[in-house]
Structure formats: structure tokens, C-alpha cells
Amino acid sequence: EVQLVESGGGVVQPGGSLRLSCAASGFTFDDSAMNWVRQSPGKGLEWVSLISGNGDTTYYADSVKGRFTISRDNSKNSLYLQMNSLTTEDTALYYCAKDGGNSGYDVDYWGQGTLVTVSS
């Protein structure tokens, strides 16, 4: 059974930093591209970032480029999101999401999310 468990969310002041983690199990982790997707209160889903299975290729939404860094440790079956220079606009539930693996960039499994609140 595929499981994705996020952690690391919390309350942080504007301008601060936070590192999210996602522990993956139930599938061959290094075969799968992974995403971070977020949902702000009252808003829709927003893609944040994607990383290839071997970690060589990364993509970012324009809203986070230069501030967030996605990474992975395949030896630990773990995905990360380093978030710097946070603003109130980054307040959201952050989901770890597994790519479907068929070159269509669908997401076939989602974690339950970890909540990030940026507030002074």
C-alpha cells in the first residue's frame, strides 16, 4: 500500500524558513517523480514543485521559484521542501504527491498534508 506522510509544518513568521518532509513507502521511490502541491484556505490546488526520480531535474511554480528548494534522499525514501523567505501568501496545506509515472504528470497518490501558517 502506498503511503505518503508529510511532516514539518507549523507556524512561522514572515521572512522565516521551514523544511517540510515526506516519508514514502509502498512503492519503488527512486522510480517515481514527486511533487509538492498546496492549497491555501478557501482556494484551489496549486502546484508548487516537481522533482524527477533521480533528483537531477526540478521544476518550480513561478510563485516560489528562488525561495523554495525541492530535494529527495532516495536512500531514505524521503522528499523535502525547503521554504525560505516565507510570506503570508505561503500559508497553506502542503501535500506530498506521487507522480503517476506515465509521462502525463498525473498524481496517483497524495499524502494527507501538513499545514504551514505564516503569521506574525
Partner 1 sequence: SYVLTQPPSVSVAPGQTATITCGGNNIGSYSVHWYQRRPGQAPVLVIYYDTDRPSGIPERFSGSNSGNTATLTISGVEAGDEADYYCQVWDSGSHHVVFGGGTKLTVL
Q: For residue 9, give every residue at least 6 positions away whose Cβ sits within 8 Å of its Cβ, in sequence order, or none.
A: 18, 20, 94, 114, 115, 116, 117
Q: Which stretch binds partner 1 (CB under 8 A): 10-18, 22-30, 45-53, 77-85?
A: 45-53
**DSSP letter at 66?**
T
Q: Which stretch binds partner 1 (CB under 8 A): 11-19, 22-30, 77-85, 99-107?
A: 99-107
DSSP letter for each residue of 27-50: S-GGGS-EEEEEE-TTS-EEEEEE
Residue 25 Cβ, how far from partner 1 at the closest point, in Å?
16
Options 9, 59, 91, 117; binder of partner 1; rule CB under 8 A:
59
Options 35, 64, 68, 94; binder of partner 1; rule CB under 8 A:
35
Residue 109 Cβ, how far from partner 1 at the closest point, in Å?
8
Antiparallel, parallel or unpaired: β 10-12 and 114-118:
parallel
DSSP H or E run through 20:
strand 18-25
Options 20, 32, 113, 114; binder of partner 1; rule CB under 8 A:
113
Residues touching partner 1, count (CB under 8 A): 22
Q: Which amino acid is at 83?
A: M
Residues engaged in binding partner 1 (CB under 8 A) = 35, 37, 44-47, 50, 59, 61-62, 95, 100, 102, 104-108, 110-113
